[in-house]
């Protein structure tokens, strides 16, 4: 076969395989057997190997994934991926309907769709080819998971026909069917691998895997439900989704238009009863105004569209028997009781354990060993005990009592007034706390150290190689290679990751220390205000209280942390290893007091900055981010789709309303 003949056959095979993929995974109407499909695919794979000049990243052969590890890059959404407002009652749906009619009148249609229980995804198509797939993330930025999404066979790599917009975004939900989930867990059980709790967790975990060749073997699927772009064929949501089917997208057949709220209620009642018969999980119904013109009239709040709402089904309940209670120790020393249950099927998954949260919850439920308990999944995800069938309680059964000593190290537990949790005070000697602190330190939002997962940290701790976060920087390649599951490459990755982590900014190092109540945002505030760890370590209670957003609980926690000699020693060791414990000169130069004494409220979406970036700018210039408008507000920084209630309140209080451009001029 010459080059020309090979090229023609490759193009023909790709076209046929794409058609068969669509027939099988989208239309559920296969025309050929699996064997015939595999023979065609193998033929294409061999031809592409022989003639690499015909490589195409959107070839059907690329769906097998890549066995090289990838690192997820954050990508900004062109259109923010907002959440939907939730309701569990028909009364609130009636209120929603009333609000909509008040603004756009009575002449409109609703579209009702099933609310899938999976992981949201945004797909970007350019000239008919999939070029980017990004997770929801925080709504403004998400992870680029394009390589993983390309392995999902119901998502077209190349669109059908030629009447689609040149550039558009389509969003949907990646999910796993009940059958696919069961097969995956059966395989994991056979291999001695921990089982996934439910299809949603399995989907989210798979989507974030670093090896796309493994993702390709997982039974992921996708329904698409929202299109965005400047050249869409119709001025309405339903009609554009119907059109998207002809481009090759898998759009639910259960989507329908409704005239009036009563038809919406009929749709909800139907699927509340029928959802157990679906091959995938849903947890409610989504209601949208169909017309884009009407959607624009209704607008957005800061977090949700006003033209859509989600009705959540009441959580499914079952009864089972409480066998025992374990007490787990977290990285902060918090003790969490976990109920061990007689296995029971709930919302498509087998439930064996449920969190009891704290001592107050145990007392409130009046739990006894052997009780028959009612279980439901909060938000269809996390199993929880919501009640006890007291009539079934055996006489003489023993009430569950909260423990008084740590189940691992034996230290006497403490509980501060006003707090719900009991704590083990042995921070530096209790194994679960030590390992938990190290896991937190290497996590993505802290030091983001490649190659150090929970299992690896467990192994390093058990071998006596690490007893604190500072010990990580003593690890050597020659020490790691002899360990089980280690090879030269994995040892290199860890050593390199540790070296790279020394470039992490002060705020992330501070977050990584694991000071109680100091989350990612608080760490940024403290770093920008204190400038260095030495200033923070020597700050008094009153000085800390003067920092924006720092309250009594956080201030006292910081003082308690640095009052312990062990913590100061760890900080000093980390300094010696080269970690950053002060703002860089560039960061200091970006700081000013131009907004000192000003309280600023942000609302809406902006052209050039995300809301988090604007808040960071306010902090760096000495201002204070306020969440709500009051007489103390200095400025209302208003973007597109802001809450009209805030605007009205700002006008009423005579507060200056400024744009993004006005704000930037203030600090230049």
What are the residue numbers of the active site?
A: 115
How many CB atoms are closer than 10 A to CB 53? Answer: 8
For 222, 270, 490, 619, the CA distances from 313, given in Å and listed in that order, are: 21, 12, 46, 41
Burial of 494 (0-12, 13-18, 19+ CB in 10 A): buried
Q: What angle do CA 353, 356, 359 make, to 5 degrees?
A: 150
C-alpha–C-alpha distance, residues 14 and 31, integer Å: 16
C-alpha–C-alpha distance, residues 573 and 469, integer Å: 10
C-alpha–C-alpha distance, residues 31 and 158, integer Å: 20
Q: What one-character DSSP code corresponds to residue 424?
A: -
Contact by Cβ (8 Å): 236, 229: no
Which residues, in sequence order, are CB contacts of 181 under 8 Å at separation 6+?
A: 196, 198, 199, 202, 219, 348, 349
Q: How far is CA 101 from the centre of its chain?
A: 34
Instruction: Specify the length of the chain in residues.
Output: 668
C-alpha–C-alpha distance, residues 216 and 487, integer Å: 25
- The CB-side HSE value for 67 (13 A sphere, CA atoms) comes to 1
C-alpha–C-alpha distance, residues 495 and 459, integer Å: 16
Which residues, in sequence order, are CB contacts of 107 under 8 Å at separation 6+?
A: none
Helix (H) and strand (E) counts in the chain: 25, 20
For 137, 578, 587, 667, the CA distances from 584, given in Å and listed in that order, are: 28, 13, 5, 20
- The CB-side HSE value for 543 (13 A sphere, CA atoms) comes to 11
> 26 in helix, strand or coil?
helix
């Amino acid at each position: 076969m010459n080059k020309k003949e090979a090229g023609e056959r490759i193009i023909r095979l790709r076209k046929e395989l794409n058609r068969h993929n669509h027939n099988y995974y989208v239309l559920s109407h296969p025309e050929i057997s699996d064997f015939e499909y595999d023979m065609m695919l193998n033929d294409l794979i061999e031809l592409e190997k022989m003639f690499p000049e015909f490589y195409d990243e959107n070839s059907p052969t690329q769906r097998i994934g890549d066995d090289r590890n990838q690192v997820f890059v954050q990508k900004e959404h062109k259109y923010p991926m907002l959440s939907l407002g939730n309701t569990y009652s028909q009364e609130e749906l009636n209120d929603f309907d009333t609000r909509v009619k008040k603004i756009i009148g009575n002449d409109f249609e609703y579209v009702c769709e099933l609310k899938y229980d999976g992981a949201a995804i945004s797909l970007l198509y350019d000239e008919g080819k999939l070029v980017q797939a990004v997770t929801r993330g925080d709504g403004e930025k998400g992870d680029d998971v394009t390589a993983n999404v390309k392995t999902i066979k119901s998502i077209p790599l190349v669109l059908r026909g030629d009447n689609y917009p040149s550039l558009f975004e389509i969003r949907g939900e990646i999910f796993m069917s009940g059958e696919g989930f069961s097969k995956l867990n059966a395989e994991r059980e056979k291999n001695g691998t921990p089982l996934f709790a439910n299809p949603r967790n399995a989907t989210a975990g798979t989507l974030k895997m670093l090896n796309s060749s493994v993702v390709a073997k997982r039974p992921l699927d996708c329904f698409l439900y929202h299109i965005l772009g400047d050249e869409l064929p119709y001025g309405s949501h339903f009609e554009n989704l119907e059109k998207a089917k002809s481009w090759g997208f898998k759009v639910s057949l259960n989507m329908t238009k409704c005239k009036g709220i009563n038809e919406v209620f009929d749709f909800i009642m139907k699927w509340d009863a029928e959802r157990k018969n679906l091959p995938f999980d849903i947890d409610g119904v989504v209601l949208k105004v169909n017309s884009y013109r009407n959607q624009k009239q209704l607008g957005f709040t800061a977090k949700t569209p006003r033209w859509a709402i989600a009705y959540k089904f009441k959580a499914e309940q079952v009864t089972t028997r409480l066998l025992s209670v374990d007490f787990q120790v977290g990285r902060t020393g918090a003790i969490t009781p976990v109920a061990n249950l007689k296995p029971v099927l709930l919302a498509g998954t087998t439930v064996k354990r449920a969190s009891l949260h704290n001592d107050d919850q145990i007392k409130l439920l009046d739990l006894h060993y052997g009780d028959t308990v009612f279980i439901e999944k909060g938000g269809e995800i996390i199993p929880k005990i919501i009640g006890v069938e007291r009539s079934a309680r055996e006489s003489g059964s023993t009430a569950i009592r909260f423990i008084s000593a740590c189940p691992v190290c034996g230290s006497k537990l403490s509980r501060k007034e006003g707090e719900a949790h009991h704590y083990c005070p042995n921070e530096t000697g209790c194994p679960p706390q030590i390992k938990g602190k190290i896991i937190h330190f290497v996590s993505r939002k802290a030091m983001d150290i490649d190659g150090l997962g929970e299992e690896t940290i467990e192994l390093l701790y058990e071998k006596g190689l690490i007893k604190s976060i500072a010990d990580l920087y003593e690890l050597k390649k020659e020490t790691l290679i002899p360990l089980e599951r280690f090879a030269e490459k994995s040892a290199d990755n860890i050593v390199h990751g540790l070296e790279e982590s020394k470039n992490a900014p002060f705020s992330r190092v501070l977050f990584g220390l694991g000071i109680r109540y100091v989350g990612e945002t608080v760490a940024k505030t403290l770093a920008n205000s204190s400038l260095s760890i030495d200033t923070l370590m020597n700050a008094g209670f009153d000085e800390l209280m003067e920092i924006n957003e720092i309250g009594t609980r956080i201030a006292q926690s910081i003082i308690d942390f640095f009052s312990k000699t062990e913590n100061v020693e760890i900080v000093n060791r980390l300094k010696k290893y080269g970690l950053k414990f002060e703002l860089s000169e560039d960061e200091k130069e970006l700081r000013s007091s131009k907004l000192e004494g000003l309280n600023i409220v942000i609302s809406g979406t902006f052209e050039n900055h995300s809301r988090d970036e604007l808040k960071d700018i306010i902090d760096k210039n000495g201002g204070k981010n306020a969440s709500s408008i009051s007489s103390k507000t200095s400025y209302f920084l208003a973007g597109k789709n802001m809450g009209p209630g805030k605007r009205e309140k700002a006008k009423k209080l005579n507060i200056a309303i400024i744009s993004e451009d006005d704000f930037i001029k203030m600090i230049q």
